[in-house]
């Protein structure tokens, strides 16, 4: 495996150990190798791809789909790697309707882009399902294992579609409970029925009460012996979980079908089961604790108090973006010291002001070239909310040692992930166009060195990508020195009171020792 494409968190054979698996005490330390060279030398990004159906063509055999740029995009008539049938062929023409027949007509209450806003796509292939839904005002957290031969997540990110490298194995996914409006699996090759249904129970944890699970796989629509046995076991398991099979929809063109399940809105079915299997989780099991937490083969009860998160469905999009969640208690103190609802509102107004008056016009950033964005310390997701009208998506990161605000981010129709920035982030090199970090490093340096974290930032940002940093002036100065040692172009630095601001651009520089060996 090439050093330039090194992706922490996996074994040399490409089997991901766990979502967010560490690569060492503070990530990979050392000068990064930089972008691969194309036929005419290193190139830089020239803009977001014209559409998620377009595929990177590197014009050379064996080329990485995430070399350094999206500069050469063209519609590709061939097939892309992946197990999902939802648009694995990328034809010229209008965006493909997913083969999995999940349309507004299939289940009226799904209501893409209004009632259903945040989706989890398991074993996503090249994330064509997520790309299709993006045009319907739906954001999809797609994930698949790292694959040395097909690099599905890498290609998805190159197409401008949200995706992470992760597996469903022995640990919980790095998401809170009750946050996804719908979970989708199309030929994702996950044995949901095995091991007492532990993996399906993990989906049950992250799915909202009243949410949908859409499963398109051969056991749904084929009658071979093995498929029939799996369907029988899945039927028994989902009934015992109180999931209601509300529809099986078949595609008229290729006869591929999808089973659509509905998670209960109350505890009535749980209480009336003849056999309590799978069991209910013990009361002191926190369903939102997800960082390095082993899977639990149990189910959590549906919240019944009207003030509890999960007892009600969020407001329709886009209203849910603007208003504080109904379960934010005014008696609780928020991250910035005000009551939680007031803190939420003030944060939103702050970032709308900063983005409109500074980020959009004052820093020389061409936002038409930005698609994949990361907020390294998202808090309430105010920065992402302020970018709502741009054709971008934001990976909101909530640090594991910070107040748990990630459920708030999901409640407002955004998405994100738990992470510890003293470890490497589970993504491929050069996959983000812009990274934002507000007041992150001054707290982070109490636990680990800033240098390896900045090397990780350099790894996941594209050449030509931008870093927007706000922190204490002393921290900003230290990071500026690190960036200059990596041959970044520091476009802007200034101090205002107790805060410093930095805007920098990553170049296509790489060490001479690496150049000599390529």
Reported as a single tens digit per residue, the pLDDT across 106-157 is 576 899 999 999 999 998 677 889 999 999 999 999 998 776 445 788 889 9
Q: Is residue 157 part of a domain?
A: yes
Instruction: Say yes or no: 268 and 382 in one domain.
Output: no
Domain presence at residue 79: no
**Residue 23 DSSP SS3:** coil
pLDDT the model gives residue 3: 54
Percent of the chain at pLDDT above 90? 69
Averaged pLDDT, 99-107: 54
Cα separation, 180 vs 323, in Å, equals 18
346/238 same-domain check: no
In this structure, are 227 and 361 located in the same domain? no
Burial of 144 (0-12, 13-18, 19+ CB in 10 A): buried
Q: What is the mean pLDDT of residues 310-334?
A: 96
| Predicted pLDDT at 128 | 86
Residues 328 and 265 placed together within one structural domain of the fold: no
Give the number of other CB atoms < 10 A from CB of residue 304.
Answer: 10
- pLDDT score recorded for residue 251: 87
- Give the number of other Cβ atoms within 10 Å of residue 514's Cβ: 14
Residue 104 in any domain: the answer is no
Q: How many structural domains is the chain composed of? A: 2
Instruction: Indicate whether 148 and 224 sit together in one domain.
Output: yes
Q: For position 106, what pLDDT does the model report?
A: 59
For the chain, state the CA radius of gyration: 23
Of 272, 305, 333, the residue at which a domain comes to its end is 272
260 and 326 part of one domain: no
Strand extents, DSSP E, 65-206: 73-74, 118-122, 139-144, 163-165, 180-186
Structure tokens at 178: 């009750």
Q: Same structural domain for residues 479 and 340?
A: yes
202-232 pLDDT, tens digit each? 999 999 999 999 999 999 999 999 999 999 9
* Residue 193 domain flag: yes
Q: Are 179 and 407 in contact (CB under 8 A)?
A: yes
Give the pLDDT of residue 8. Answer: 66
Task: List alpha helices for 241-330, DSSP H.
Answer: 268-271, 319-322
Chosen domain end from 211, 239, 272: 272
pLDDT recorded at residue 516: 55
Q: Choose among 272, 199, 192, 277: nearest CA to 240.
A: 277
Query: In this structure, are 477 and 360 located in the same domain?
Result: yes
Q: Which residue has the tokens 């390095």?
A: 292
Is residue 252 located within the same domain as residue 388? no
Q: What is the DSSP letter of 39?
A: B
The interaxial angle of helices 450-460 and 473-485, nearest 10 deg, is 60
* CATH number where 221 lies: 3.40.50.150
Q: Report the pLDDT value the prediction gives residue 6, as an integer from 0 to 100.
A: 60
Instruction: In whole angstroms, give the CA distance from residue 489 to residue 503.
Output: 9
Asked, for residue 210, whether it belongs to a domain, the answer is: yes
Q: Return the structure tokens found at 140.
A: 């999809």
Establish if 50 belongs to a structural domain: no
Q: What is the pLDDT of residues 51-69, one digit of tens each?
A: 443 443 333 333 333 333 3
Confidence at residue 56, expressed as pLDDT on a 0 to 100 scale: 36
423-450 mean pLDDT: 96
* pLDDT attached to residue 40: 34
Q: Is 215 helix (H, G, I), strand (E, B) or coil?
A: strand
Question: Which single residue is written with the structure tokens 């103190």?
Answer: 333
First to last CA, the chain: 13
Q: Which of 212, 245, 272 is the last residue of a domain?
A: 272
pLDDT for residue 14 is more than 70: no
Q: Indicate whether 218 and 329 sit together in one domain.
A: no
455 occurs within a structural domain = yes
User: What stretches of 315-427 adopt beta strand conformation (E)?
Assistant: 372-375, 393-399, 416-419
- Domain co-membership, 230 together with 376: no
Residue 93: which residues within 8 A CB-CB, separation 6 or more? none
92 preceded by cis ω (within 30°)? no
- 329 and 265 in one domain? no
Q: Which domain holds residue 230?
A: 118-272
The share of the chain scoring above pLDDT 70, in percent, equals 77
Residue 369 lies in a domain: yes
| pTM exceeds 0.75 | yes
């Amino acid at each position: 495996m090439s050093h330039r494409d090194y992706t922490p968190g996996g074994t040399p054979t490409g089997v991901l150990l766990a979502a967010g698996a560490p690569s060492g005490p503070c990530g990979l330390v050392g000068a990064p190798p930089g972008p691969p060279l194309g036929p005419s030398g290193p190139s830089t990004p020239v803009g977001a791809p014209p559409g998620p159906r377009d595929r990177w063509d590197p014009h050379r055999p064996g080329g990485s789909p995430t070399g350094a740029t999206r500069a050469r995009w063209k519609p590709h008539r061939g097939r892309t790697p992946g197990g999902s049938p939802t648009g694995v062929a990328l034809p010229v023409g209008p965006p493909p309707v997913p083969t999995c027949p999940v349309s507004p007509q299939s289940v009226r209450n799904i209501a893409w882009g209004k009632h259903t806003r945040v989706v989890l796509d398991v074993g996503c292939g090249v994330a064509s399902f997520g790309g299709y839904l993006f045009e319907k005002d739906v954001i999809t957290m797609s994930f698949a294992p790292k694959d040395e031969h097909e690099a599905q997540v890498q290609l998805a990110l190159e197409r401008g579609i949200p995706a992470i490298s992760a597996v469903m194995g022995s640990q919980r996914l790095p998401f809170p409970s009750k946050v996804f409006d719908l979970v989708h699996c199309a030929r994702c090759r996950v044995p949901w029925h095995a091991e007492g249904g532990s993996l399906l129970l993990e989906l049950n944890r992250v799915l909202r009460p009243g949410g949908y699970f859409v499963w398109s796989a051969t056991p749904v629509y084929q009658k071979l012996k093995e498929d029939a046995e799996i369907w029988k076991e899945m039927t028994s398991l989902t009934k015992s979980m109180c999931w209601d099979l509300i529809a099986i929809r078949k595609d008229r063109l290729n006869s591929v079908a999808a089973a659509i399940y509905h998670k209960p809105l109350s505890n009535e079915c749980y209480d009336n089961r003849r056999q309590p299997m799978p069991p209910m989780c013990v009361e002191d099991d926190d369903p939102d604790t997800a960082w390095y937490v082993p899977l639990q083969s149990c189910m959590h009860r549906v919240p019944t108090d009207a003030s509890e998160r999960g007892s009600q469905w969020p407001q329709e999009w886009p209203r849910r973006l603007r208003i504080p969640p109904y379960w934010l208690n005014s008696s609780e103190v928020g991250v910035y010291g005000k009551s939680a609802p007031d803190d939420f509102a003030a944060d939103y107004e702050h970032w709308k002001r900063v983005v409109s008056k500074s980020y959009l016009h004052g820093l020389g950033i061409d936002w038409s070239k930005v698609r994949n964005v990361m907020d390294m310390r998202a808090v309430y997701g105010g920065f992402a909310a302020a970018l709502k009208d741009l054709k971008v998506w934001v990976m909101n990161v909530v640090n594991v040692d910070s107040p748990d605000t990630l459920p708030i981010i999901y409640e407002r129709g955004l998405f994100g992930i738990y992470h510890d920035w003293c470890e490497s982030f589970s993504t491929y090199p050069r996959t983000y166009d812009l990274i934002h970090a507000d007041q992150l490093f001054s707290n982070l340096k109490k636990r680990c060195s800033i240098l390896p974290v900045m090397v990780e930032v350099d790894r996941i940002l594209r050449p030509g990508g931008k870093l927007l940093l706000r922190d204490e002036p002393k921290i900003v100065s230290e990071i500026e020195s690190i960036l200059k040692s990596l041959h970044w172009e520091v476009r802007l630095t200034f101090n205002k009171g107790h805060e410093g601001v930095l805007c920098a651009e990553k170049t296509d520089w790489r060490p001479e020792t690496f150049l000599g060996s390529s």
